[in-house]
């Protein structure tokens, strides 16, 4: 019997605990160590592990776990601000890293991610679960089959009413609050830019060339705070949040596609990733959840009618990605409708098999850089900012892949 | 009995004929002259007028109609490229102008519109029908009532599959074809920016400060042409269309709101103006056609569910604008669900009553300038471009109005 892959989970907030539980349900993986700055979280995680008849080491300092004789892979699920520091250390120690999503604080941080990975040769993967979403996968599948024709415009967003989570950040020990007080950027671009970059073959024959971002005023959090009356909200009464409520970013691609992404987390709204793909033969948009494929008949009808709200449910079954079909029971095995399970399996199987990382360090550096670049553009009044090439020209030669992490 | 308002209709393509018929149904207005470069169109219009027991003068040269003793108002419904020239001439002749929508070819054109109007004192109105759309009016009504809270982000677009109209432009004598061959801009911004500017009080306490536009590659028309085989499409076989399929524009406002508009006319899709309003208390979006108003209960639900496709139908009745309720039979009286009737009545009643124009020359100059400014930004690789102030500072003093053209 093959030895189980030994993982350490660093960061035991809501996200870390969720991923830890997903790992605990896998037969070929074990959690040998957990770590968090807060001891109560460590104890809670250890208790959960022992309940499943396992045992693990608990630490409040991740540096004590940087020994590759004991750990085969590290899952980093801390606050955004600690991701890269831990990833650097793990890669230097030769321990493969699966890192949760987040934006970068500087372009240099992204370049260093690439440098450390190239120098050490240690695998690094960004655990962007939305690359494995049912709709994102179905659209990728349709793009690869040419059903949308030539892809021309892609959109997405992180449109999630987080006012409660942000404003009660101190109560919940959640790191978002500080981000909204101190920065103005698209602070969370990867949920939408990940799937977009994959279907546009970014860093594999295509690349992001430039970016410009525009931020709205900050009004949503202030009003939210003013409506309540408790110790946490009262403390925020006079805070001027630096983060604009809505941040738009337009990205130019080397192959001529336009990308529009939005951060929209401080206003009342239903959740949406606003995922939209438009090509010369068809389109999909998450707002309205409809597909629309070209045909003479459809065209004639479309002038007046044509929108078929929520037909996505039907299309997404018809054009389900092979990965999704293969692991259709995945939704029973993890959070967010199966995505979390798929992204974890992609990482674990690539580490175990010594395969290339499905979402590699060039992907991660490119996606995370949007946060730093959008901050720069906003600071300059929405000016055009050049997008660095983290592959140093290798994007021209790197080949597109059908998809990532599963041999299909 | 009060004398009827005598109008001349210049430009008798589909749009001109549509508006002419709307005017012919009004009891207090008559069409005393029609004009088009094509004689057959003039004859067709005259035949239609005589069928309704009237008679009118027909011309192929609008200059022959520039006598205010015979004409009380001029409706300009020609190709975009002739709008301003005719408007200048009419204003110089002292004839009030109702001008169809379109973009400007230069910022100078917009400044001249303002200059001629201010110097001659002749009324000018842009006939932007979408300002009078049912949803646009309902949202304006809700904004004025504070139901969305502080407005933070507004979006819109002209998302209309025009591949057929563009590519058969020669057959249909439609001017759009040339525009797509020679320019790269948001060539048709007013359908969405009109209602947006009205609800943001642009030029009345607020103004557009800067703009940046990004255009996708041009692929939709080429592929459309390649699929057909007839004399019109074959002629276009080797044409390189300059117009990008999708053009995004982000506009910064003096009061901190973000505006995102899109031109999307060369790809298969159902019609949409993508109208979206987001404030600190609620939102509406046309894609999906849903309203969402803040409440504790709604908030808790929204994390996972919350989207209620097509609930717009219900909301738009509940919050119908007084104008819409007052003239709820309007849809029986004109095209585009009543909008055309409302915009014409707004113009005609303002002219007859000597009232200020509901969509005045500052509005028109500002909205039309987007075409020229977007072309400049695209030419500069999506750079930030300053937005001129066509009011010369008067925007700070000009007062917001409840709405335009109807005393409510």
Mark yes or no for CB contact B153/A303 under 8 Å. no
Residue B404: the pLDDT is: 59
pLDDT over 90 (residue B267):
yes
Spell out the long-range contacts of B341-345 with Cβ–Cβ below 8 A and sequence spacing 24 or more: B341/B22, B342/B129, B342/B132, B343/B127, B343/B128, B343/B129, B343/B131, B343/B132, B344/B19, B344/B22, B344/B23, B344/B26, B344/B98, B344/B127, B345/B26, B345/B405
Res. A336 pLDDT band, cuts 50 70 90: low
Cα–Cα distance measured from residue B138 to residue B312, given in angstroms and rounded to the nearest whole number:
10
Mutation target for A interface from B268, B285, B289, B335: give the one with most A CBs within 10 A. Answer: B268
Mean pLDDT over B67-83 rounds to 96
Q: What is the pLDDT of residues A24-81, one digit of tens each?
A: 989 999 999 999 999 999 999 999 999 987 899 999 999 999 999 999 999 999 999 9
Res. B339 pLDDT band, cuts 50 70 90: confident
Encode burial over B264-293: b for 16+ CB neighbours within 10 A, e otherwise: bbbbbbbebbbbbbbbbbbbbbbbbbbbbb
Residues 54-113 on A with a CB inside 8 Å of B are none
Mark yes or no for CB contact A152/B271 under 8 Å. no
Element at B127 (helix H, strand E): none
Q: What is the ipTM of this complex?
A: 0.94
Res. B295 pLDDT band, cuts 50 70 90: confident
A91: closest CA of chain B, how far (Å):
36
Q: What is the pLDDT of residues A281-313, one digit of tens each?
A: 999 999 889 999 987 554 444 443 456 788 898
- DSSP 8-state symbol, A4: P
Spell out the long-range contacts of B82-89 with Cβ–Cβ below 8 A and sequence spacing 24 or more: B82/B11, B84/B109, B84/B112, B84/B113, B86/B10, B86/B62, B87/B113, B87/B116, B87/B124, B88/B112, B88/B113, B88/B116, B89/B62, B89/B63
Contacting residues of B for A254, CB less than 8 Å apart: none
Mark yes or no for CB contact B250/A214 under 8 Å. yes
Residues 296-315 on A with a CB inside 8 Å of B are 298-299, 302-307, 309-310
Res. B301 pLDDT band, cuts 50 70 90: very low
Nearest CB among B268, B304, B384 relative to A299 is that of: B268
| Nearest residue to B277 (alpha-carbon basis) of B209, B200, B364, B339 | B200
In the block, residue with structure tokens 């991610």:
A113
Contacting residues of A for B285, CB less than 8 Å apart: 287
Whether residue B22 contacts residue B343, with contact meaning beta carbons closer than 8 Å, is answered with no
Res. B300 pLDDT band, cuts 50 70 90: very low
B332: closest CA of chain A, how far (Å):
17
Query: Which residues are registered as beta bridge partners of A283?
Result: A278, A292
Distances in Å between the alpha carbon of A140 and those of A194, A323, B21? 12, 11, 48
| Nearest residue to B112 (alpha-carbon basis) of B367, B386, B365 | B365
Nearest CB among A248, A279, A289 relative to B260 is that of: A248
Nearest CB among A153, A287, A303 relative to B271 is that of: A303
Contacting residues of A for B160, CB less than 8 Å apart: 303
User: Between vectors from CA A300 to CA A294 and to CA A302, what angle results, nearest 5°?
Assistant: 70
Residues 156-175 on A with a CB inside 8 Å of B are 160-161, 163-164
Cα–Cα distance measured from residue A99 to residue A101, given in angstroms and rounded to the nearest whole number:
7
Tell me which chain B residue has its CA closest to the CA of residue A221: B280
Tell me which chain A residue has its CA closest to the CA of residue B305: A270
Tell me which chain B residue has its CA closest to the CA of residue A253: B216
Mutation target for B interface from A222, A240, A249, A268: give the one with most B CBs within 10 A. Answer: A268
Contacting residues of B for A380, CB less than 8 Å apart: 384
Cα–Cα distance measured from residue A4 to residue A218, given in angstroms and rounded to the nearest whole number:
49
Residue B406: the pLDDT is: 57
B232: closest CA of chain A, how far (Å):
17
Mark yes or no for CB contact A214/B258 under 8 Å. yes
Cα–Cα distance measured from residue B87 to residue B74, given in angstroms and rounded to the nearest whole number:
9
In a 3-state reduction of DSSP, which class is residue A124? strand
Whether residue B377 contacts residue A214, with contact meaning beta carbons closer than 8 Å, is answered with no
Contacting residues of B for A311, CB less than 8 Å apart: none
Q: What is the pLDDT of residues B135-161, one digit of tens each?
A: 999 999 999 999 999 999 999 999 999
pLDDT over 60 (residue B334):
no
A212: closest CA of chain B, how far (Å):
8
Q: What is the pLDDT of residues B16-44, one digit of tens each?
A: 999 999 999 899 999 999 999 999 999 99
Nearest CB among A215, A267, A282 relative to B283 is that of: A267
- Torsion sign across C-alpha atoms B194, B196, B197, B201: positive
pLDDT over 60 (residue B304):
no
* Mean predicted lDDT score pLDDT of chain B: 92
Our CA dihedral for A20, A24, A29, A31, rounded to 10 degrees, sits at 60
Residue B401: the pLDDT is: 75
Q: Which two tokens stand for residue B108?
A: 């100078």
Nearest CB among A223, A267, A299 relative to B278 is that of: A267
Residues 336-395 on B with a CB inside 8 Å of A are 380-384
Nearest CB among B214, B294, B304 relative to A250 is that of: B214
Q: What is the pLDDT of residues B349-408, one digit of tens each?
A: 999 999 999 999 999 999 999 999 999 999 999 999 999 999 999 999 998 776 655 544
pLDDT over 80 (residue B116):
yes
Nearest CB among A248, A270, A283 relative to B306 is that of: A270
Residue B141: the pLDDT is: 92
pLDDT over 90 (residue A222):
yes
Q: What is the pLDDT of residues B50-62, one digit of tens each?
A: 998 789 999 999 9
In a 3-state reduction of DSSP, which class is residue B326? helix
Element at B134 (helix H, strand E): helix B134-144
Cα–Cα distance measured from residue B147 to residue B168, given in angstroms and rounded to the nearest whole number:
45
In a 3-state reduction of DSSP, which class is residue B221? helix
Residue B308: the pLDDT is: 77
> Could you tell me if A246 lies within 8 Å of chain B, comparing CB atoms?
yes
A27: closest CA of chain B, how far (Å):
30
Q: What is the pLDDT of residues B4-15, one digit of tens each?
A: 999 999 999 999
Residues 195-224 on A with a CB inside 8 Å of B are 210, 212, 214-217, 219-220, 223-224
Mark yes or no for CB contact A294/B268 under 8 Å. yes
């Amino acid at each position: 019997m093959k030895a189980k892959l030994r993982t350490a989970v660093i960061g035991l907030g809501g996200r870390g605990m969720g991923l830890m539980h997903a790992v605990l349900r896998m037969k070929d993986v074990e959690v040998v160590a957990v770590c968090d700055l807060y001891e109560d979280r460590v104890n809670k995680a250890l208790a959960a592990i022992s309940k499943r008849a396992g045992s693990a080491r608990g630490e409040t300092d991740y540096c004590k776990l940087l020994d590759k004789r004991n750990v085969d892979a590290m899952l980093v699920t801390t606050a955004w601000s600690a991701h890269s520091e831990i990833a650097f250390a793990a890669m230097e120690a030769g321990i493969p890293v699966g890192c949760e999503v987040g934006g970068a604080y500087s372009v240099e941080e992204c370049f260093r991610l690439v440098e450390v990975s190239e120098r050490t040769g240690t695998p690094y993967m960004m655990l962007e679960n939305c690359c494995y979403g049912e709709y994102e996968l179905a659209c990728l599948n349709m793009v690869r089959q040419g059903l949308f024709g030539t892809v021309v415009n892609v959109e997405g967003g992180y449109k999630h009413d987080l006012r409660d989570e942000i404003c009660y950040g101190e109560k919940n020990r959640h790191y978002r609050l500080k981000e909204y007080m101190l920065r103005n950027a698209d602070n969370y671009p990867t949920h939408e830019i990940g799937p977009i970059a994959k279907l546009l073959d970014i860093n594999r024959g295509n690349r992001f060339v430039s970016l410009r971002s525009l931020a709205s005023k900050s009004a949503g959090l202030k009003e939210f705070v003013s409506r309540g009356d408790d110790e946490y909200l009262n403390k925020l009464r006079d805070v001027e949040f630096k983060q604009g409520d809505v941040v738009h970013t337009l990205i130019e691609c080397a192959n001529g596609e336009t990308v529009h992404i939005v951060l929209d987390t401080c206003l009342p709204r239903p959740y949406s990733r606003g995922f939209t793909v438009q090509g010369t033969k068809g389109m999909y948009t998450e707002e309205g959840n409809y597909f629309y494929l070209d045909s003479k008949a459809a065209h004639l009808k479309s002038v007046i009618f044509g929108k078929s709200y929520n037909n996505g449910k039907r299309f997404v079954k018809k054009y389900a990605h092979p990965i999704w079909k293969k692991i259709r029971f995945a939704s029973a095995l993890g959070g967010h409708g199966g995505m979390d399970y798929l992204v974890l399996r992609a990482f674990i199987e690539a580490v175990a098999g010594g395969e290339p990382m499905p979402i590699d360090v060039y992907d991660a550096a490119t996606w995370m850089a949007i946060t730093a670049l959008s901050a720069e553009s906003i600071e300059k009044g929405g000016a055009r900012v050049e997008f660095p090439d983290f592959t140093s020209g290798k994007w021209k030669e790197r080949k597109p892949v059908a998809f990532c992490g599963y041999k299909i």
